[in-house]
């Protein structure tokens, strides 16, 4: 399925449906706080599995009790596409399982 960059309005509309996510340059980003480093590491593994399922990968950063994502689509010059929002929605669905806020 070919992907196309989203317009600024389309990005804003989709971000309104994803509290905690924001536009940072040409990427959508979100950071989560977790109860422990182990919980954060488990969430990273879970996100990595989802990224493999979608064949769409983010910059994923593990910190002490934190997980951060920065997402854009390389195949369209690093712009934000619907693929990025599909990944963000999936991460939002799995975050509560890990106690992420």
CA dihedral 63, 73, 56, 46 (to 10 degrees): 20
State the chain's maximal CA–CA distance in angstroms: 39
Backbone angles phi, psi at 60, to 5 degrees: -120, 120
| pLDDT (tens digit per residue) in 57-71 | 999 999 999 999 999
How confident is the model at residue 94, as a pLDDT?
Answer: 98
How confident is the model at residue 1, as a pLDDT?
Answer: 53
For the entire predicted model, the pTM comes to: 0.96
Instruction: Work out whether the CA dihedral 92, 100, 19, 55 comes out positive or negative.
Output: negative
Q: How many CA atoms lie within 13 A of 76 on its CB side?
A: 18
Q: What is the DSSP string of 4-39?
A: -PPPHHHHHHHHHTSTT-EEETTEEEEEEE-SSHHH
How confident is the model at residue 30, as a pLDDT?
Answer: 98
Distance CA 101, CA 43 (A): 12
Mean pLDDT over 12-39 rounds to 98
């Amino acid at each position: 399925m070919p992907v196309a960059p989203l317009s600024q309005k389309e990005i804003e509309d989709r971000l309104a449906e994803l509290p905690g996510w924001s536009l940072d340059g040409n990427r959508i980003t979100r950071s989560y706080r977790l109860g422990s480093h182990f919980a954060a590491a488990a969430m990273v593994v879970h996100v990595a599995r989802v990224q493999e399922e979608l064949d769409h990968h983010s910059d994923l950063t593990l910190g002490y009790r934190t997980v951060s994502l920065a997402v854009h689509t390389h195949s369209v010059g690093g712009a934000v596409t619907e693929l990025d929002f599909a990944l963000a929605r999936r991460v939002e669905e799995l975050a509560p399982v890990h106690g992420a806020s």
